[in-house]
A and B are shown apart, each in its own frame.
Chain A
Amino acid sequence: MNIDLSRRGFLRLAGAGVAATSLGAMGFGEAEAAEAAQVRTFRLATTTETRNTCPYCSVACGIIMYSKGDVKAGETAELLHIEGDADHPTNRGTLCPKGAALKDFVHAPTRLTHPRIRKPGSDRFEEITWDEALDRIARAMKDDRDANFIASNEAGVPVNRWTTTGFLAASASTNETAWLTYKTVRSMGIVGFDNQARV
């Protein structure tokens, strides 16, 4: 719901009273006036806007991502620019030095693009396919669980816990990832389970 509210609609909602004052003096009635005439190319012209929130701290500033290409339309999209979302009640378009440079975080030279394996004793990573990597993980988990699962304690009380495998969950993944992770980890009986809130 509301996902497809147009940005014109957002502008109305924003109650952009002050900007209108200044912009009015500069020759605009309101910000939309700038969009009306289609003559000059602006750097963000013909990009796709997407609403998102900053992944860093939990102020959770609203951001707009400007991309070439539209993910929603099934296209390949390249991120060109990120700016604060002026419609967002918390940050009202502002961003901190981290948030303002988010585009270069997404494009960081050290982003991972391929699964890799470092074999015991090796001094390097080697590429591996997703299938191989996931099969290795599943096999290792199954073997370790079967070998070390504690079904009941010394007093014979069923405890059904698995302590020899641990899982550290993220601090910036979505709730939905968190829930799927929870289901997976808990169903196996893993108790060495923690997240960034601990530290």
Chain B
Amino acid sequence: MKDIATAPTTAASNPPVQPTEAYYNAGDIVRISATRNVPAPERQLTKLAKLIDVSKCIGCKACQSACIEWNQTHPDVEENVGVYENPHDLTPNMFTLMRFSEWVNPETDDLEWLIRKDGCMHCEDPGCLTACPAPGAIVQYSNGIVDFVQENCIGCGYCLTGCPFNIPRISQVDHKSYKCTLCSDRIAVGQGPACAKACPTQAIVFGTKDDMKAHAAERIEDLKSRGYENAGLYDPAGVGGTHVMYVLHHADKPQIYNDLEEDPRISPIVEGWKGVTKTAGLAVIGLAAIGATLHGLFARGNEVEEHDEQAADTLVKGRDPDDGPHHGGQV
């Protein structure tokens, strides 16, 4: 028997109930949206990653449930439209979603029910951050976490345009963009993400990216021994690798997992965005300096003055904010 302890697990500790110091902070930020010349941090944090083993996932939605509870969101009670996905898509109140696909393996003629936990991939080269015109609305820490700072968000939806995975969603209530934070507040005090802790089969595990890759290698070996010759790790190079990775039984065909991008890249248009629009945005919107935004890094749902909102919307969309925010789907 192999040593059981080699499997990384975030479920091995319980949250502290005493006031606790965060192990990383604003000084560990390496990139800030619409901001050049971010000073280099004094230290490099160990790169982290969440690993989702699709072959172990039972599609139970514990991750969705734990995510709702930790982030205190309130997804709507929708209807059944003939599928198991509920809510039907990622929403500003649902940062992660089990996506189900019934795939008949052409080689064996056997049905495989492929269930993939969708959500922010925390790209090493985050397209959302690249595209974002609002200074300080999106930040990246040196451990790999890409976090949205709603206080600085202008609800423009460019993050979604920039995202190769179609993840962020704009709230129709507060016109802010939302996505998985990788539970940055939990990680800061030594806890794993809520989804990883809850996951009953530990299909979701969390740790350093190196550990996660090593664990993935073991899992892939096991899958190959069970006949999944093309089992492999999904850590796409086109976005510099991701801090949320998948073990796939059919890594040669990511698209069968509910259209997982085969070779995700930031759109060249978004890559080309720099200078003009963003600088104009920064000037016109007149947001506070970066330093002042950082104190609210972990705060959520802060109110934004209405005129800021309107100004931002007019600027980036060339339309009246009453048209409603840009929401969901591919741009």
Q: A residues near B, CB below 8 A?
A: 7, 10-11, 14, 16-23, 25-28, 31, 33-35, 37-49, 64, 66, 81-87, 91-101, 103-104
Are A45 and B23 interface neighbours, CB within 8 A?
Answer: no
The prevalent SS among residues of B at the interface is: loop
Residues of B within 8 A of A49 (CB): 14, 17
The 8 A CB mask of B189-227 against A (1 = contact, 0 = none) is 110101001111010001110110000000000000000
For the complex, give the distance between the alpha carbons of A38 and B23 in Å.
Answer: 12
Are A86 and B65 interface neighbours, CB within 8 A?
Answer: no
Decide: A18 near B8, CB < 8 A? Known: A26-B143, A31-B190, A100-B62: yes
Are A95 and B66 interface neighbours, CB within 8 A?
Answer: yes
Are B189 and A93 interface neighbours, CB within 8 A?
Answer: no
User: A84 → chain B, closest Cβ, in Å?
Assistant: 6
Are B198 and A94 interface neighbours, CB within 8 A?
Answer: yes
Decide: A84 near B198, CB < 8 A? Known: A17-B5, A18-B8: yes
Asked if B272 CB lies within 8 Å of chain A CBs, one says no
Pick the most buried of A41, A44, A87, A94: most chain B CB atoms within 10 A of its CB: A94
Residues of B within 8 A of A34 (CB): 16, 20-21, 23, 189-190
For the complex, give the distance between the alpha carbons of A132 and B202 in Å.
Answer: 51
Are A37 and B69 interface neighbours, CB within 8 A?
Answer: no
Decide: A83 near B62, CB < 8 A? Known: A25-B208, A94-B199: no
User: A33 → chain B, closest Cβ, in Å?
Assistant: 7
Q: B residues near A, CB below 8 A?
A: 5-24, 45-46, 48, 60-62, 64-66, 68-70, 143, 185, 187-190, 192, 194, 197-200, 202, 206-208, 210-211
- Residue of A20, A21, A45, A91 near B17 (CB, 8 A) is A45
Decide: A97 near B8, CB < 8 A? Known: A27-B23, A35-B20, A46-B19: no
For the complex, give the distance between the alpha carbons of A41 and B60 in Å.
Answer: 32
User: B305 → chain A, closest Cβ, in Å?
Assistant: 26
Are A22 and B206 interface neighbours, CB within 8 A?
Answer: yes
Are B197 and A83 interface neighbours, CB within 8 A?
Answer: yes
- Residue of B21, B60, B64, B69 near A104 (CB, 8 A) is B69
For the complex, give the distance between the alpha carbons of A17 and B7 in Å.
Answer: 10
Are A81 and B208 interface neighbours, CB within 8 A?
Answer: no
30 contacts between A and B (CB under 8 A): A14-B13, A19-B10, A25-B207, A26-B23, A26-B46, A26-B48, A28-B23, A28-B190, A34-B189, A35-B20, A38-B21, A39-B21, A40-B189, A41-B19, A42-B20, A43-B185, A44-B16, A46-B19, A81-B70, A82-B69, A83-B15, A83-B197, A85-B14, A94-B198, A94-B200, A96-B198, A97-B60, A97-B61, A99-B198, A100-B66
For the complex, give the distance between the alpha carbons of A187 and B70 in Å.
Answer: 48
User: A119 → chain B, closest Cβ, in Å?
Assistant: 33
Are A94 and B211 interface neighbours, CB within 8 A?
Answer: no
For the complex, give the distance between the alpha carbons of A81 and B198 in Å.
Answer: 13
Q: Please give me the residue from chain B that is nearest to A103 by CB atom.
A: B69
Residues of B within 8 A of A87 (CB): 14
Are A31 and B207 interface neighbours, CB within 8 A?
Answer: no
Residues of A within 8 A of B188 (CB): 40
For the complex, give the distance between the alpha carbons of A34 and B16 in Å.
Answer: 8
13 new A-B contacts, CB < 8 A, other than A47-B17, A92-B11, A95-B65, are A10-B14, A16-B12, A22-B8, A25-B207, A27-B23, A35-B18, A35-B20, A39-B19, A39-B22, A40-B189, A45-B16, A84-B11, A86-B14
Residues of A within 8 A of B70 (CB): 81
Residues of A within 8 A of B198 (CB): 83-84, 94-96, 99-100
Residues of B within 8 A of A82 (CB): 69
Are B21 and A40 interface neighbours, CB within 8 A?
Answer: yes
For the complex, give the distance between the alpha carbons of A96 and B98 in Å.
Answer: 14
For the complex, give the distance between the alpha carbons of A160 and B46 in Å.
Answer: 74
For the complex, give the distance between the alpha carbons of A35 and B23 in Å.
Answer: 11
Are B18 and A101 interface neighbours, CB within 8 A?
Answer: no
Are A44 and B10 interface neighbours, CB within 8 A?
Answer: no
For the complex, give the distance between the alpha carbons of A94 and B56 in Å.
Answer: 14
A-B interface, 7 closest residue pairs, ranked by CB to CB distance from nearest: A93-B11, A22-B207, A19-B12, A37-B21, A34-B190, A16-B12, A100-B65
Decide: A93 near B69, CB < 8 A? Known: A26-B190, A31-B190, A45-B19: no
